[in-house]
Every structure is written in structure tokens, then in C-alpha cells.
Structure 1
Amino acid sequence: MADPISSTPSPQPDLTRNRLPTLFEVLSRRTLPPVDLFSFYIYMRDQQRSVDYLDFWLDVAQHMSLCRHYVRELRRSVLVSTPDPEKASQRSSAILEGLGDMSHPAAGPSMYASEKERDVDAQMSAYLREERPGVHDSPQSSNDRRGRPSPKMGTPREVATDSNSPAHTVARQDIRASAEKILYTFLLPGAEREITLPGSITQDVTASIEDFGRDDPEVFDVAKDYVFQAMERDAFPGFLRMKALGNLIPPTLIMRLIIGLVSMFGGFWAAFILIFLNESRLTRCWLILPFTLGVYCLAGYQYSLDPILALIGYSEYTPFNFSRVREPYVKKLLRQRALMVLAVTLFIDAALCVLFILVPGKRL
């Protein structure tokens, strides 16, 4: 399983956001628990059962970071100031020199903060296409380079970093290995974690990498857009309902449903017995216990929310494991819903208790 958290520095979360976050904000690590990337990863893995799509998106975003790091390091090197004409053309050198610092976070297609960021990444991809290995070689030597990535090549998550240390220098072969790893892991028929994409997209990506030797980030743009839109349409609304409007997960909800039904059955059973035995109203006050437990659990199941946990600021992400709610707008939503659920619980509980405690007893 791929680690959802990469080594690329995260953008600062927007603490002033007075709305629910978008999927792109979650993927860009601009949100806080319980609507952060880690929580979305757990949701895709445990509830949606389609974490391979998220891993593909993250690997492609990491491939973009790897390419940026490579180009940044290249611009800093002496070879950029005095490019070797045998290795770099004048056109590619001009593209390289015209790039900015490329410090903006990795983004998906059509998801840039400005046209400038889009242009910078487009120029970077153009440079990588111009300088791809084998572009000036014979067809035979180009064919010899094809094949699966070498086991010795680091994965994108291992080599991509913004560190300036020489130990983290990215070689061009790492970019090639990263592109091939994505292709062979997610896109080829029968791949280890194959994701379902339109055949035309898969064919275009495969041909670009294997036949034309491309490894620039733009080669994955269409596939990445398709996966993003699929997650936004099919998975993200359910994630927001579970995490922003509730704080419990399905296994816990089923357990609460069972406990609630058993408690309510026990409460009604005890209530009728005490009434028909003509027990005192003071004795019947013990009915508060099963009715309160039953109504509380059933209300939690109905609203996917534990009001006490919401008021103290916790949300469940795996069975009986909780994280603190840190997203301001979500915290406010959960507290409002918690007060509403508590009011409903108290009203129904009080109505049941008053009914079965104050009703006159009659011994049969």
C-alpha cells in the first residue's frame, strides 16, 4: 500500500475557510482533520474500496514534484549556465532558463492557482520532452531502453524531495523509472493495481511512454483529470457526509444500532412488567437507564454522530480510534449537529420515561 503522505512540503491550511473543503484542497493538503488527506485515504481504503485511484493520483502528483526537483537542480548546476551543446539544444536551454522557481505545490490539470503556474509546468514538460533520453539516439538504442523499471530505481515517494542536499539529487533515469512505475502499476492490462480508465486514455499513455519515450508530467494529464473527476463525483460527497456531518464510521454505527435495539427492547419489556406488577413510580424510574442508552445509540446511528464526542472535539477514523477535529468549519458544524442530536435524544427519552413512569399501574 502506498503511503498517502509524501515528502513534499505541504501548503498551509486555510484556517479562515468558512465552508466545506473541495477535493482538490484535500488532495493538496490544505485541510485539517477530520477532512484531511489521511482521513480521505482511510475512507477510500475502508469504505469506498477504491484506494488504487487515490494512489494513482498521488503517484502522478509525486511524479510532478520529482520532475520539478530535477529541473530546479539542473538550473542550479553549472551545466545550466554553460549547457553542453551535445546534450542540450539552444531551444531547451532557453526553456529551462525561462522557468521560475517552481515552488508552487503540485496541482492537477486545470487546478492551478494562476495561469503563470500552468505555463511554468507546461514549459517544464516541454523541456523534459526536448531533453528526454534517446531523443538524439538511433531507434535501436531507444528500443533497448524500453522495459520495466529497474528494481534498483527508487520510487517517486523515495526520491522526490525539496531538499537541496546532494544526497537527494534526482537523476533523469529516476524520472523515467517513476513514469514507468506508474504505467506498470496502474494502467497496463493485468497490472498489479490496475484502475479502470477509458481504453483510449490507457492506450495514449502507454504509447507516449513506451513508443515515444516520454516521461514528462503532461503524459498523465488526461488520466489524472479522469481519476480526479471520478473521485469528486463518486467518493468525495460520501466522505464529506461521513466526516463533516458525522463522526462515526459504519462498523461502529452497526454496533450502536444493535445495542440501541437491544436496550429499547429491554426497556419496553421491563416497563410493561413493572406496570402490570403495579410497582411504584419510584421503582419505575430505573427505566431511565435502558431508554436513555437505547435512544442515544439509535440517534447516533440515525445521524452518524456521537454528540458527546462531537462536543469534546473528536472524530472516529478507524474502529475505536479517534482524532481531534481541527478544521474550524467542520468543528462548528459538528457542534451544531451534536446539540440538535442531544435535543432530539433528550426529548424522546423524556417522553418515554414520562409515559411509562407516570402511567397508572395495574396488577394482572
Structure 2
Amino acid sequence: MKRFYCSCSKEVGFHDHVCKNCGRDLVYDPVLGTILSGELINTDCFIVHTPDGQKNRQLIACDNRHTTVACNWALVPEDQENDCECISCRSTRSIPDQEGTDKNPTRWYKLERSKRQLMQTLIDLKAIDATQPELYEDLEFDFLEDKRSNPDLELEHVLSGHYDGLITINAAEADEGFLHTMKEQMQERYRTLLGHFRHEIGHYFWLKFFHNEEMRKKFRKVFGDEREDYSKALKRYYKSGNQSHWRSRFITPYASSHPHEDWAETWAHYMHIVDTLQTAHSYGLSDYEPHKNSFDQWFVEWGRVTQVMNALNRSMGVAEPYPFKVSDIVEGKLRFIDEMICLYALNIKSPSQRKPKKVSVKSKKTTKENRNKSK
């Protein structure tokens, strides 16, 4: 995550609406990848101020700025005439019933907050082109509930996962207590809400990257044959438990269950690394930054940064934030993901190839059906 500043030169946060120093309104511009300061007029018209105090261009603030979501993003120019939500908010298809339980407004807020950070990283990596939002209309999110968090529902169990562009997240994972329970049940010690988003989006980009047999052959050389029966592989994994050999070949035990999950777990770890290393660079703790230096350079630098992170935590008497030991095999997988992202960014469709824009505005709805199939 980068550092952001108001035009008054004071640092502001990624999710901030107002500069605490000068009182200017703030908006995040996904095209420029930065926070802009200025003045919000008539709830959605944002007048940008330059550092010298001059007013210049106008932006349209996301409609969710004034809802529970408290989104501080602006619409991209291509959406300003036909939509009212930013590129992140518009991808949400279903939300938990906001009147069903007192916890649901907070859950929706946390889910969208994590999704915006996910989107920011993807845009920064150029895996998503913010100027072409129509290319990602196949990406949707369902935030659903089940009886575990809302006894009034008929649905027994929401399976979080990805299926053909639709990512389903159990809304209760925004609760610390529920998330802790899932960590224990799934034996995923470092499971986080943001990490879960990063894992599931990895499945989405697998479809984007490996859309033909030629590309899938490249995938199989690194991660194995994804044609292995997925259901049987998961049953075998949960029946046998963690295998002792996983550390030499996989980033997590779950990654050993199937090549699809190996990809998604390694993808999520890649996103953890690049976001954290960008933060370290922004604060002057590192001279290297992903995608502005070679993989070899920034990956070696990542090792040094994690040493500092772990040492700081030990000094505080708390658990190390990065206990992972990345083997040579896992490093090769991370390198492959880095190469695929760079290749995909070069091949994103040009403006002349854009699909026709949908004019209608998609409304949010709640649902009791889990349309997701677990992967």
C-alpha cells in the first residue's frame, strides 16, 4: 500500500474521507491510483484542489460514500454517465440483509473495505485496468449468510469460493469470533478477511490467464495437472490431514490439496508480499518495489524486510507476522505468477476492442440461495 497525502501535505489514510489537518474532502481516484483532496458538492460532485489551492477538474463520488459502506472512491470517466458506483462497489451482487441483524451493516462495511484494498492492489499491478471497467463485468461478489450467523435463515451452510467469475464470501467472516473459529476448523492459522479475498480472486484470474490449452500446459509444468478430480482431491486432503512433505513444495498445507488451490494460495501470498513490500518502500524501509524492479531483486529484498518485521515483533513479545519459509519450488511458483501478471497486463484489450457498455445500473439484492460452487 502506498502512502497518500492531502494537498496541505499532511499524510492521509487510504480509506479517509476528510483530511484531519485542513478539513478538505478526500476521494480516491482509481485511474491515477492516489488520494485527491478538494470539495464535495451536492453529495457526489467532487472538485479537485491542486497543492497550490487552485480548483481544477471534477470527479463523481461513488454513491456508496453516503451509505454504510462509506466508500471514498471516485467513478472512472467511462462510468460517470451510466453508473453511480465505483469499479469496486459495482462488482457486489448480493449483500447481507441490512435489517436482518445488527451486525450486518458492520459486516458489509468490512467486506467492502477489504475489497477496495484488493482492487487497489490489482489495479496497481495492472491486473485490472481501471479505465476499462467493462472488461470485468464478469466479476461479481455475493456476501451471504447462513444459520450459523442468522438463525432466521433457511440456508444451513454458505460455501465460500469461486465459480465462473462469481466469488461468494460468508458475510460472518467479517466477525472476529467467526473468523477465529474458521481458522481452527480449517487449520489456517493466518486466515484473514483480506487474505480470503486474495485467495478467491486468484481463481478468477486463473480463468483469465489460462484460457486455452497452450497456456494450461505452461501452468501444469509449474503447479501440476488441474484436471485431477477436484472433489476427490479435497476429500483425500481432509481425510489424511496435513502431510509432512508440504513445506518443501507448497506455501501452505491447503495448497497441497489440488493444483487449483496451490495456485490460489500462492497467488494470495504473492499479493501479500507485493502489498507489504510496497508499504515498506513507501515508508523508506526498502529501496525495491515490485514491478519497478526485477523479481530477483525485490524477492531478495522481501527476505530482508521480513527479517526486520519478525525482529520488531519479537521485541514486542508478540508472534512473528511472517513465519513462512519459502522453498525454492515455491519461489519458482511466485516467479511464474509474476510473469503471468506482467504478460496479462500487456495483453489487456485496447480501447478499440472494448465491449459495448451496459447502460442500466445494477442494484444490490439480498438472497437466501448460495449460487456458488466451492472450488
TM-score, normalised by the number of residues in structure 2: 0.24
Question: Of Structure 1 and Structure 2, which has the larger fraction of its residues in strand?
Answer: 2
Question: Of Structure 1 and Structure 2, which has the larger fraction of its residues in helix?
Answer: 1
Task: Between the two structures, name the one with larger relative contact order (CA 8 Å, sep ≥ 6).
Answer: 1
Structure (1 or 2) with the larger CA radius of gyration: 1
